[in-house]
Amino acid sequence: MIRAWLVMLLFVSSLSWAAQSSYEFDSDAQRESFNRLTAVLRCPMCQNQNIADSDAMIAHDMRRKVHQLLQDGKTEDEVIAYMKARYGDFVYYEPPVTIGTIWLWLIPLIFIACATIIVVKRRKPQVSADMAEQLAKADEILRQDKS
Amino acid sequence: MKKTWLVVIPVMLFVLVAAFLYSGLSSDPRQLDSQITGQPFPEFLLPDLMEPEKNYTQAALKGEVTIVNVWGVWCVTCAVEMPYLTHLKETEGVRFVGLYFDQDLDPDNGTKTLNRVQQEVTELLSRYGNPYAFNIFDVYRDTSLDLGVTGAPEHFVIDREGIVRMHHVGDINERVWMNKIGPLYQRLTGREEQNAQGAGR
């Protein structure tokens, strides 16, 4: 029982850690903007974390900057543009559609299209005359077995 | 006919995927495209690290080819490269300007005093050599953010007009200088031509 509680406590503490922030906001809307932005901006240092999760110094600085820009009345898009101007497209989890990245969307579609064509074409296997004869024979044997 | 396609298509796919994955083997995910290269150095107004009453703007970087070195005493690689930077300053007259930022000096809940930072810097530079013309103190790390700095050390080669020509992430050692930064530096300072003329005579 105690063990179960301890395990639960573990989750509680990590949750509160994620939510911990010393920033003050003018409004709830601004706080939501901040939470949204820090979740979609990627830490350039620890590359598989967003800046809300990362404890790298650069992530701290970027969070502070996001907060400051929001306080200055910048919109979410402007904050993202600000970060992109400094750290490149890399910093935003949604890649822009370019010749190079369009394949991320196209390849799965092409794959599905090809697979569909193949499946549809193969649906009716053509049974050769020889094979049909053998199948008929087999069916007959089966029927005889049953009766 | 159909049979050949059944062989050719998978082989082609395999080759394409293999080529793609092979190129991925040697690509460094930490190598980000620098956004600042080709742009003027970001505007700033920051104090000197040693004499805080003295202020610098981006104009301080103009007029001479300069290498801005982003560093801090807490950064081990920075200390490692210090003797080589000093060597470059002494032998080739390279102008290094430090953009200093401190990790522990969190602007929001600071724990370290400026005096302490200055003391540590003096100590480190007296031990490993001082390549810097001067050190700019990036108090809130805003300028580092404007430059797209992700850590330390990082270097920015600035031409005479104050345009960033190269962003080098990591330390400068002999190999990096010979292959990457040195040639650009020589070109920007125009020393290459002088050398070529000298060799021609």
DSSP secondary structure letters along A15-67: HHHHH------SSHHHHHHHHHHHHHBBPSSSTTSBTTT--SHHHHHHHHHHH
A46 lies in the same domain as A89: yes
A87 lies in the same domain as A107: no
Closest C-alpha among B49, B72, B46, B71 to residue B60: B46
Domain B34-189 matching CATH 1.20.1250.20: the answer reads no
In a 10 Å sphere around its CB, with 0-12 CB exposed, 13-18 middle and 19+ buried, how is residue B41 labelled? buried
A91 lies in the same domain as A102: no
B4 touches chain A (CB under 8 A): no
Pairing mode, strands B55-57 and B45-47: antiparallel
Residue type, A55: D
A87 touches chain B (CB under 8 A): yes
A52 lies in the same domain as A33: yes
Name residues 26-55 of chain A within 8 A of B (Cβ): 44-45, 47
A85 touches chain B (CB under 8 A): yes
Q: Rounded to a whole number, what is the distance in Å from the CA of B22 to chain A's nearest CA?
A: 18
A88 lies in the same domain as A104: no
How many CB atoms lie under 10 A from the CB of residue A147?
5
Burial profile A93-105: b = 16 or more Cβ within 10 angstroms, e = fewer:
eeeeeeeeeeeee
Does A3 map to a domain? no
Residue type, B169: V
Sequence-separated (6 or more) residues with CB below 8 Å from residue A101: A95
Sequence-separated (6 or more) residues with CB below 8 Å from residue A64: B107, B108
Closest residue, chain B, to A57 (C-alpha): B103
Does A9 map to a domain? no
ipTM over 0.85: no
Q: Rounded to a whole number, what is the distance in Å from the CA of A118 to chain B's nearest CA?
A: 12
Q: How far apart are CA B89 and CA B92, in angstroms?
A: 6
Residues in chain B: 201
A61 touches chain B (CB under 8 A): yes
Does A115 map to a domain? yes
Q: Residue A89: which CATH number? A: 1.10.8.640
A28 lies in the same domain as A92: yes
In the predicted model, is pLDDT for residue A16 greater than 50?
Answer: no
B106 touches chain A (CB under 8 A): yes
Does A10 map to a domain? no
Does A5 map to a domain? no
A28 lies in the same domain as A80: yes
pLDDT tens for chain B, 201 residues long, are 667 888 898 899 999 999 989 988 887 777 777 888 888 999 999 999 888 889 999 898 888 999 999 998 888 899 999 999 999 999 989 999 999 988 755 555 556 678 888 888 999 999 999 999 999 998 888 899 899 888 889 999 999 999 999 999 889 999 999 999 999 999 988 865 555 554 444
A47 lies in the same domain as A103: no
Q: How far apart are CA A68 and CA A62, in angstroms?
A: 10
A91 lies in the same domain as A46: yes
| Separation of first and last alpha carbons in chain A | 63
A33 lies in the same domain as A84: yes
Q: Hey, where are the domains in chain B?
A: 34-189
Domain hosting residue A59, numbered range: 23-96
A66 touches chain B (CB under 8 A): no
| Cβ pairs bridging A and B (under 8 Å) | 43
A90 lies in the same domain as A59: yes
Q: Rounded to a whole number, what is the distance in Å from the CA of A15 to chain B's nearest CA?
A: 23
Number of structural domains found in chain A = 2
A78 lies in the same domain as A123: no
